[in-house]
Structure 1
Amino acid sequence: MTRSLHPWPVPPPRVAVVDVRSLPRPGVPVLPVPRAAEPTTPERTTPEPTTPEPTTLERTSEPVIPAAAPAAGGASGSAVLVTGSGGPAGVAVVRRLVALGHRVVAVDIDPIAAGSALAAVGGVVPRADEPGFVDALLAFAAEHGADALVSTVAEELPALTAAAGRFAAAGLATWLPEVAAVDLCCDKAAFAVRLVEAGVPTPATAATVAGAADVPGPWIVKPRAGRGSRGVQLLDSAAEVTAAMTADPGLIVQTRLAGREFTADALVARDGELLTVVPRWRDATKAGISVQGTTFESEAVTTVVADALEAVGLTGPANVQGFVADDGTVTVVEINPRFSGGLPLTLAAGADVVGAYLAGVREPAAQLPYLYFSPGVRMSRYFAETYTSLDGAPVSDPCAAPAVTR
């Protein structure tokens, strides 16, 4: 797989060290580098579905989204089908596509997923590991005229890839990464082994009680196949690590890293070419989701992120999480093969990874653009609400600004 670090015109040194004194810190204003940036607007509980058949939720109120140019690509009147519309990434993808002028239809296992209310039509489908998931997607896409599929849930990817032929036959375009790459990203133990093999800095990791003896403390124990902060334990004694991993063989242990945590949103073309890396500090998080962040520019971080992506062979959207230590060492902890929950900040900084990805879904042979971004852009996230009525009657937003009359 080939890789280009463009739009960074001079290849950075392949050293996993950055002078942290030169990077933006909280509370210090940073002027963004002048680049072409496109403004945009900047979250899942998922109960079990009551039926494997897709149901429909019509939108009852218009989302507040700035005007955008009409969408390009796709047949006249065709829609984009977005999955995982109850998660932060799903909501962000729906909002961006709507802002770009696309007709969006969205599904989730939650019948009142917020992203479904923001789309033109929302539906309910089974979990990806349940029978009928693919059938429900195909039926929903056919009913609402969708010609492109955008998944925002990593756990769906194996089922979607297995059904790629069915989607193509139905006229539903997809861009799905290799299953082997997804499996590596979703298995934290296998991921750590692969990065060590590739020479990419990653914390010491063990998946057995015996192996834990070789992992220096302090420790973090977490599910081998978990997501977000679910099941994560911060431990300070080897006895606690042994007890936790004995009680749950599905856990792994890693050395707990010090320093400053970052996430880098990335988009990798189908041929492996790196189209963008947008690093951002995770200034504050809740339930594993970034609620405050700041974009920054670092050749060292970009290099390590690019090496990690190349090591697993991932294409499409990804978010890479890691730390920059006080001595400047950059370490990668994990890669999620999907759009991130902090996606709105990357969009606000000017890198339209959603629009570029959709172009690649609909036109597999298209030469996708390199995406630039502005460092020093900050995000502070707040709660927002959507409203639907059980009887289908419109429900107004009590906090909406009144219409301006002239």
Structure 2
Amino acid sequence: MSGREPTVLVTGCGAPGAIGTLWSLEQSEELSTVRTIGTDVREEQPGRFACDAFYSVPPADDPNFVDELLAICETEAVDVVLPQVTAELPVFASALDRFADIGTSVAVSDPAALERANSKRQLLEVCSDLGVPTPESIAVESRVGLEDAAAQLGYPERPIVVKPPVANGQRGFRMVSEDWDQKREFYESKPDGTKVTMDRLQSVLGETFPTLLVSEYLPGTEYSVDGFRSETQTVAVPRSRDRIRSGISFQTTVTEAETLIDHSRALADEIGLEYAFGFQFKRAADGMFKILECNPRIQGTMVASTLAGSNLIDAAVRAALGDSPTVESPEWETSFYRYWGGIGVRDGELVGNVGEDV
């Protein structure tokens, strides 16, 4: 195994976690060199300068998406594709045979597993079967339905949250409450757009709208669980999300939470997830962990697990190459702190990387 030099294509190089993914590949103790190809829908992305080659590609819903990715994989002799964009996952999963025909493996779960993971309804059914606690949730498609669901969940005495059935980051997520000081927040807090009153939410949504889930608000700490699953091993590495900005972890700590490990392993096996993926949980008022969602792809701060000694991203690549990697247990209580860096570019060439040597 040692000494192999695969070519890996990483999609979504403009994503917040792209640099962490590329860094994790560099840390492989089994692969001597990993040649990386980056793609993104936008040409000007910092991640392109961290890759050996870069291509601008159409979005996943473009009918030419698969053909263009296949052409890139053939040109660059790509061994493994690591998708990082939620919308791309089912597209890749439906074209696995076409990529296999040119000698490229795609590190993505099969279509049935993706549907179970991405569909909030199916995920809740799996959780119910396994005894994994879930927030009380009601699907709505109208103003009247929203008002009725909110009342059933104790609103306005208790805050609620709304989100799409298939979420991507915090897009469409709102915490709805009448009990917050908007004036104080205006002067003292940086705007994040996630808190709204019911009147404000209804003014945005109108009388009818695409399906939303209305759920109980969980006031406790949020946790991500970074996962990896192969034919021989199912790994779960929990971490508390100690500081979050715009849905991105700016401080997170790898923590030995056995309940989250057990829940995540059971869910991954039952859903049939493969390669690298993740779950998100949050503590309810009584301290119970309740699941928020499943991310059947590399998570944005999965690099924290790499830093703790569990390189799940490297394991995903090696599994896609046909090997049987063993992921080491992490060093618990390892913390990750995200900071703002940046690069300088002139005439399309990198001229400096601020923070590279920090």
| TM-score when normalising by structure 2 | 0.82
- Cα deviation, 1:8-60, whole Å, max 9, x if unaligned, reads xxxxxxxxxxxxxxxxxxxxxxxxxxxxxxxxxxxxxxxxxxxxxxxxxxxxx
Whether the 8 Å contact between 1:147 and 1:172 is mirrored in structure 2 is yes
Is 1:396 paired with 2:351? Answer: yes
Cα distance between partner residues in 1 of 2:256 and 2:356 = 36
Cα distance between partner residues in 2 of 1:358 and 1:308 = 22
Whether the 8 Å contact between 1:98 and 1:104 is mirrored in structure 2 is no
Structural mapping, 1:51-90, within 5 Å = 72-74=3-5, 78-90=6-18
- Residue 376 of structure 1: which of 333, 339, 345 is its match? 333
Q: Which residue of 1 aligns with 2:76?
A: 144
SS at structure 2 position matched to 1:165: helix
Measured after TM superposition, the shift of residue 123 of structure 1 is 0.8
User: What is the percentage of aligned positions where both structures have the same residue?
Assistant: 27
Question: RCO (CA 8 Å, sep 6+): is it higher in 1 or 2?
Answer: 1
Measured after TM superposition, the shift of residue 334 of structure 1 is 0.6
- Residue 221 of structure 1: which of 162, 171, 176 is its match? 162
- Residue 245 of structure 2: which of 286, 289, 295 is its match? 286
Letter of the structure 2 residue corresponding to residue 224 of structure 1: P
Measured after TM superposition, the shift of residue 400 of structure 1 is 6.9
- Residue 23 of structure 2: which of 77, 95, 114 is its match? 95
Whether the 8 Å contact between 2:228 and 2:274 is mirrored in structure 1 is yes
| Structure 1 unpaired stretches of 5+ | 1-69
Whether the 8 Å contact between 1:161 and 1:179 is mirrored in structure 2 is yes
Is 1:190 paired with 2:122? Answer: yes
- Cα deviation, 1:305-331, whole Å, max 9, x if unaligned, reads 223323422222111111134644121
Q: Which residue of 2 aligns with 1:59?
A: none
Cα distance between partner residues in 2 of 1:250 and 1:240 = 18
- Residue 267 of structure 1: which of 207, 228, 233 is its match? 228
Q: Which residue of 1 aligns with 2:100?
A: 168
Whether the 8 Å contact between 1:324 and 1:330 is mirrored in structure 2 is yes
Structural mapping, 1:95-114, within 5 Å = 95-100=23-28, 101-114=33-46
Cα distance between partner residues in 1 of 2:277 and 2:97 = 24
Measured after TM superposition, the shift of residue 183 of structure 1 is 1.8
Measured after TM superposition, the shift of residue 384 of structure 1 is 2.2
SS at structure 2 position matched to 1:115: helix
- Root-mean-square deviation over aligned CA pairs: 2.6
- Residue 302 of structure 2: which of 343, 352, 355 is its match? 343
Letter of the structure 1 residue corresponding to residue 224 of structure 2: T
Whether the 8 Å contact between 2:275 and 2:315 is mirrored in structure 1 is no
Whether the 8 Å contact between 1:204 and 1:254 is mirrored in structure 2 is yes
Cα distance between partner residues in 2 of 1:189 and 1:256 = 18
Measured after TM superposition, the shift of residue 239 of structure 1 is 6.1
Measured after TM superposition, the shift of residue 356 of structure 1 is 1.0
CA distance 1:131–1:398, change in 2 (3 Å) = closer
Measured after TM superposition, the shift of residue 111 of structure 1 is 0.7
Cα distance between partner residues in 2 of 1:233 and 1:191 = 21
Cα distance between partner residues in 1 of 2:207 and 2:213 = 11
Cα distance between partner residues in 2 of 1:386 and 1:164 = 35
- Cα deviation, 1:348-395, whole Å, max 9, x if unaligned, reads 0000111111110111xx3321431011111110122234444x4x44
Measured after TM superposition, the shift of residue 125 of structure 1 is 0.7
Measured after TM superposition, the shift of residue 99 of structure 1 is 4.3
- Residue 201 of structure 1: which of 133, 144, 152 is its match? 133
Count of residue correspondences = 324
Is 1:258 paired with 2:219? Answer: yes
Q: Which residue of 2 aligns with 1:55?
A: none
Q: Is the deviation greater in 165-174 or in 211-220?
A: 211-220
SS at structure 2 position matched to 1:250: strand
CA distance 1:285–1:71, change in 2 (3 Å) = farther
Cα distance between partner residues in 1 of 2:207 and 2:237 = 39
SS at structure 2 position matched to 1:248: strand
Whether the 8 Å contact between 1:73 and 1:359 is mirrored in structure 2 is no
SS at structure 2 position matched to 1:207: strand
| TM-score when normalising by structure 1 | 0.73
Greater per-residue strand proportion:
2
Measured after TM superposition, the shift of residue 294 of structure 1 is 0.9
